[in-house]
Chains A and B, each alone.
Chain A
Amino acid sequence: MTAPTQTRQMAYIAGQASDARVNVELETEGMTLNIGPQHPATHGTLRIIVRLDGERVISAEPVMGYMHRGYEKLTEVRTYPQVTTLINRIDWLGSFANEVPFILAAERLMEIEAPPRAQWIRTALFELSRIANVVLFLGDMGVQLGAITPVFYAFRDREFVLNQIEAVTGGRFHPNFDRIGGLKDDLPKGWVDETRGALGRIRSFCDEMENLVSGNEIFQARTRSIGVIPADMGLAYGLSGANIRASGVDWDLRRDGGVGLVHDQLDWKVWTHPDGDSFARYWVRLQEVREACGMVEQILDGIPSGPVMAKVPRIFKVPAGEAYVETENPLGIMGYYVVSKGDLVPYRVKIRSASFNNVSITPWVLRGVYVPDVISILASLYFILGDIDR
């Protein structure tokens, strides 16, 4: 018998033995538990059917589609500028970040480049979306584990960021502000100073969360060594964003392959954590919010003057071709594969959303955990339903 075969057999026997131990010692009957689609831990309408043996999960099967809106089909009958209205609603907590990769893909096909000022403001709004999105996660994770206070702080302090986004774009949640070739408008007067104030609030919020949540003994007991995702599994399942960085993979598209945004001109750091558990995912996101605050502050100091819109045709007829642009969005990698046939409307748009891949690992990672940990793992993977269902 060759060595690899033997190893595999030993692993199989060990797996059988551990299963047998659970079944024989407890002598429990299997039970099917339906979590969702209206469960608070599901951020909307994710439904998970878990098969239980006692308190232990044997298998978990997510059921999606309660919010499927068919955006890939709808983009085929919308002109390019109209598409941004749709894709705002994919990740509805960080809407502006959804628009950026699509607009960049269209710009690549049309061979238009946005003026520098537009790129800088884009990056500022991109990072503000990240803050608005992830701040809510930092509070929400506490709620999932029984601490109700953090989410009130999160909603309170997120408002300062949303106000700044609204001041520029006119929309708190659905800015629809990015245009092919630049931005719809320039910054309003006094915005830069107000934004500095808002970022100060977010920084103190991060400190609060560090003391209140991630330093909390109960929180650590509920998240440390829970839901460990090894780096190779995460990569094979296509996890991205803080989820993969929490498994020790030092990979951030803002640094490694950013296009069209100005992250490479800023001084910042990619945070990783070696553990790959729920706590690591929380901790990495906490650091990323601070990092994003630092980025926006640098952008506020360095926005160049000039126009915010390149010279573009009034009607966008995009030359035939294919382009794929992905960016590091609040939830992870978001990309748009745009196929154009030289028409007013895209021929096909494949939306690669982060949460879809991030959640696809749940059947694997939930196998064998205890029921209460299902909630903390789901919360730490941090998905937005609109980002799964599209």
Chain B
Amino acid sequence: MSSPDTTTDEVHETDDAAEPAVDDTRDALVASLADALGDALVSSEVQPGVDVWVRVDAGAWVETAQTLQGHCGMVYFNFLSAIDWQPSPFGRDMDAVIDREDDGEPAAPADLEWGITGGEQRFQLLARVHDPIGHLGVHVKCDLEGDPPEADTWTVVYPGADWHEREAWEMFGINFRGHPNLVHLYLPSEFEGHPLRKDYPLLARRVKPWPGIVDVELMPGQDDADDEADDGEDADDS
């Protein structure tokens, strides 16, 4: 694999001069992970003085946890969740009066755009572990394949991952192999669907427009050039 530092060119510049441009601690952490995992470390990003992200291969998901806990001092389990990178077909623009203009087919699926450290699949696991002595935290991401997406359980390494994985299972439909008790956590046991998936409609918004929409309407006489509301149809009155 290429050097783990290749993706750090997206680091946003802070205008604080005291901010260190190079973060030795976090770079060292990424380097030691790269040593232990080899090609399974897909990409990484360090925001100097702020945070660090790594993305690993799904096959090395548990190995990553073991390495972080055993060799990097990351004994504190912070959280585990997931991100659905497929934008909602119903639209979530605050400009829209209702979520979807008509009752026709959902719009064609938009292209996937990933955030920090990139991605390959629709579902990404996101976990954070922390070193309570060195005061350093790391985000671990992992692309999940398959339908339903599958991952190995972290409960063998961090017992605290138990409820977090149950939550991710019911909210995103991610199947955790080897989880001791994969049942509903919040929702009733007969509940169908995975609410935090982007294609799960928020029914309250389908029935009635959100009254808070007035907060983002333009004030009378306000030019829409200086605020960033990107509605193209009002551009002709300038």
Which A residues are within 8 Å of any B CB, using their own CB? 64-65, 68, 70, 72-74, 76-79, 81-82, 108, 111, 232-233, 235-238, 244, 249, 251, 256-257, 313-315, 317, 320-324, 326, 333, 335, 337, 339, 341, 343-345, 347-348, 350, 352, 356-357, 360-361, 364, 389
Contact = CB atoms under 8 A, between A and B. Distances in A.
Interface in B127-183: 128, 132-133, 135, 139, 158-160, 162-164, 171
Given A236-B158, A315-B228, A339-B115, A348 B84 contact: yes
Nearest to A244: B132
B4 interface: no
A324 B195 contact: no
Contacts of A233: 159
22 contacts: A65-B188, A72-B196, A77-B210, A111-B12, A232-B75, A237-B159, A238-B77, A238-B79, A238-B160, A251-B133, A257-B135, A324-B51, A333-B78, A337-B128, A341-B87, A341-B113, A344-B93, A344-B216, A348-B83, A357-B77, A360-B162, A360-B163
B153 to A, nearest CB: 14
Contacts of B188: 65
B43 interface: no
Contact of B195 (A73, A82, A322, A357): A73
B229 interface: yes
Contact of B92 (A76, A108, A323, A356): A76
Identify whether the interface residues of B are mostly helix, strand, loop, or mixed. Answer: loop
B185 A238 contact: no
Contacts of B81: 337, 350
A313 B205 contact: no
Given A337-B139, A344-B216, A357-B160, 16 more contacts: A64-B185, A68-B186, A72-B196, A73-B195, A81-B215, A111-B12, A111-B15, A233-B159, A236-B76, A236-B160, A238-B76, A238-B79, A350-B81, A350-B126, A357-B77, A360-B164
B171 to A, nearest CB: 8
B35 interface: no
Contacts of B87: 341, 347
Identify whether the interface residues of A are mostly helix, strand, loop, or mixed. Answer: mixed
A181 B76 CA distance: 31
Contacts of A348: 83-84
Contacts of A389: 186
A321 B84 CA distance: 15
A311 B187 CA distance: 43
A211 B46 CA distance: 50
Contact of B78 (A72, A82, A339, A352): A352
Nearest to B167: A356
Contacts of A313: 227-228
B202 interface: yes
B163 A315 contact: no
A166 B212 CA distance: 24
A360 B15 CA distance: 41
B116 interface: yes
B14 interface: yes
Interface in B26-80: 50-51, 53, 75-79
Contact of A322 (B116, B163, B210): B116
Select the residue from B77, B84, B200 with max chain A CB neighbours within 10 A: B77
B36 to A, nearest CB: 20
A20 B24 CA distance: 54
A357 B164 CA distance: 9
A314 B228 CA distance: 9
Select the residue from B160, B215, B228 with max chain A CB neighbours within 10 A: B160
B204 to A, nearest CB: 9
A337 B163 contact: no
